[in-house]
Amino acid sequence: YAKGQGRSRYHIFDTSLRYEQIVRFHHELALNHCLERDELQLLYQPIYSTEKNRVVIVEALLRWYKDHQQLVSPAEFIPVAEETGLIIPIGDWVIRQVCRDLPLLQRKYGNRIRIAVNISRIQLDDPDFIYRLNQILAEEQVDASYIDLEITESVATSNAVEEQSSLLKLRDQGYTISLDDFGTGYSSLSMLTRLPIDKIKIDRSFVTQMNPPVLKALITMAEALNLQVVAEGIEDQEQWDRLVELGYKEFQGYWFSYPMPACNLPDLDHLSPA
């Protein structure tokens, strides 16, 4: 009896594992064609400044409509794109697309609006990345000062001297460098002084937990290091109010807007904390 049960458990485990592998394999095959089939779309989510009373940045968030119908989340397909190297052409597409959407975003939020783009480590490690990035911006006639590059801590924790030097180069050329999801993963405080970054995005988990001493310590530290701060994942007015009290100035989250196609973004010019 026990043996039989063990075997059936094994079977369940085994099929679900294979199912996942099959899904992944399908993604991998289908992702190869996402660009030529025009299946990618960029949504944008505003980052609102309480100090300036306006939207100061919009973050580009990638969506894949597999076979033009099934929406696959970036958490699912970005890792596949990274493993296969497809993140390189996909990343180039993202950069070109944000350049093309910039005029529309400027009409909505004013000429000073900037766009934040997520950059994966594979892109940053590509020796031609900076050249192509500059090339695309030149072709689309967009200045580097309009672009924030969001890197994650996995990029930033690398000791690779090349990565640090490419971040330095990018910064010298006028890009803003943001450290995304700060406080999750393998973060270390020394990173903040070691890396050439301009900005940290405090991970949503800190906003959800809402521990005032921790949030206060984070902003105090960032200010002491001359780093700008964005709080991620604000979902209600109360979270916003409390973060404003604690000294936070830039906010992103569903409370302000869900990620949306550029043409559908809200104005947000009526907003104020309580």
CA angle 173, 177, 180 (to 5 degrees): 160
Question: Which residue reads 């052409």 in tokens?
Answer: 89
| Of residues 113-152, those binding Mg ion (CB under 5 A) | 118, 150
Q: Which of 34, 115, 120, 153 binds ligand C2E (CB under 6 A)?
A: 120
The residue within the footprint of ligand C2E, chosen from 34, 47, 58, 61 (CB under 6 A), is: 61
CB of 186 to Mg ion, least distance (A): 15
Instruction: Report whether 250 contacts 56 (CB < 8 A).
Output: yes
* Angle of CA points 97, 102, 53, to nearest 5°: 135
Q: Out of 233, 250, 251, 262, which residue is the one contacting ligand C2E (CB under 6 A)?
A: 233
Residue 133 to residue 130: CA distance in whole angstroms: 5
Phi and psi of 227, rounded to 5°? -105, 135
Q: Name residue, tokens 């450290």.
A: 179
What length is written for the chain?
A: 274
Q: How far apart are CA 265 and CA 105, in angstroms?
A: 9
Does residue number 46 form part of the binding site for ligand C2E (CB under 6 A)? no
Complex with ligand C2E: residue 111 or 208, whichever CB lies closer: 208
Binding mask 203-232 for Mg ion (x = CB under 5 A): ------------------------------
Interface with Mg ion (CB under 5 A): 118, 150, 180-181, 201
Interface with ligand C2E (CB under 6 A): 45, 60-62, 73-75, 78, 94, 118-120, 150, 180-181, 204, 233-235, 252-254, 259
